[in-house]
Amino acid sequence: MAKITKSLEELVGNTPLFEPVNYEKKNNLGASILVKLEWFNASGSIKARAALNMLVEAEKEGKIKPGDTIVEATSGNTGIALATFAAARGYKFKAFLENGSSQERFDILKAYGAEPALQSEIPSIKKLMDENALSIDGIIEGVKNYSDEHGYFFINQMQNEHNPEAHYRTTGPEILEQTDGKVDIYVAMVGTGGTLLGTSKFLKEKNPDLKIVGVQADEASRIGADSGQDAIDGVAPFSNVPERFTTPFMLESGDKYDEVIEVSSLTASKTAKELLSTDGLFLGSSAAGAFTAAKELAKRPENKGKNIVVIAPDDGTKYMSLNLYK
Ligand SMILES: Cc1ncc(COP(=O)(O)O)c(C=O)c1O
């Protein structure tokens, strides 16, 4: 019988869980590392889950209807995911990108039919930038006011509960099912915090003994670090950072994670190259960061025989201008 998919929305979720056995053997790892390959989602990243859920729920709640314009502050995967589903559902999409975002990011969004602009085009955000006082709240408020003034709908992934909810409903249950319930440690990096919060909430409810490990870039591997080193892209530090740089979901995740591991973009790059050569696994920047932390965990004697699940938000294709694979 023919098997034809007629909506990309059906291709969100149910991503594979992959074990790089050659890498494990070569590195003598005592635990299994199971990688959730999120680039198998339509639009190529984990953000398909949250973007689709936020769009569908806003439509269900009567907040938007086809023909309307949606707005989001994003420079990466959320933008591409929203552009994908907005196109098919008949919405216009305006994306406010972080200043300093690459030309590639503008071009990708334009190709999808979205309208990219810089966050500094919003006067209140520009003012905060000039005063060196930019904050998460300042960005949210600026984009919200812009949307209200134009009669547009602000998706607001940083505060929209349907972001973590997508992971509570899909990512968590998939992991539980794929491991037959045998997941001992869950590892992820953090952007808005939606993935870590939603997934760990579900998994901890099923197994309170499960260990949650949040991963962040070390100081030299963050945007604006002036270290000459790449920043780990698409994610933000969430632990021991000034409150103005934390999102609500990061704060809420605080009682979910049991440990924070910091990784360097240099180590992540080494790990990523090795994985490519041992198993052909082509990880994106934050996936390489999370995997590096998983490897550290897999080396600990107390974790021998355990299953470590690690989130790989996207693959390496969007990071070729970094030093990740050089
Ligand atoms: C590459 C990459 N990794 C990780 C994340 C983390 O996702 P979340 O926003 O759910 O914390 C994102 C989100 O933007 C991302 O683009």
Q: Could you please report the per-residue DSSP string of 2-61?
A: ------GGGGSS---EE--HHHHHHTT-SSEEEEEEGGGSTTSSTHHHHHHHHHHHHHHT
Residues 117-175 pLDDT 10s: 999 999 999 999 999 999 999 999 999 999 999 999 999 999 999 999 999 999 999 99
Q: Give me the architecture of the 47-154 domain, per CATH.
A: 3-Layer(aba) Sandwich (3.40)
Report whether pLDDT(314) > 90: yes
Q: What is the pLDDT of residue 321?
A: 85
For ligand 1, pick from 35, 41, 47 the residue to mutate: most ligand atoms within 8 Å of CB. Answer: 47
| Ligand 1 neighbourhood includes 198 CB (under 6 angstroms) | no
Position in ligand 1 atom list of the atom nearest CA 157: 9
Packing angle between helix 123-130 and helix 136-150, nearest 10 degrees? 160
Domain ranges of the chain: 8-45+163-319, 47-154
Residue 101's pLDDT band (cuts 50, 70, 90): confident
Sign of CA dihedral 157, 159, 161, 167: positive
Catalytic residue among 286, 295, 306, 318: 286
| Closest C-alpha to ligand 1, atom 15 | 234
pTM: 0.96
| Closest C-alpha to ligand 1, atom 5 | 191
| Fold agreement between 8-45+163-319 and 47-154 | yes
CATH code for 8-45+163-319? 3.40.50.1100
For ligand 1, pick from 192, 215, 245, 319 the residue to mutate: most ligand atoms within 8 Å of CB. Answer: 192
User: How far is 323 from 326, CA to CA, in rounded Å?
Assistant: 5
Residue with tokens 């945007």: 223
- Determine the average pLDDT of the residues in 17-31: 98
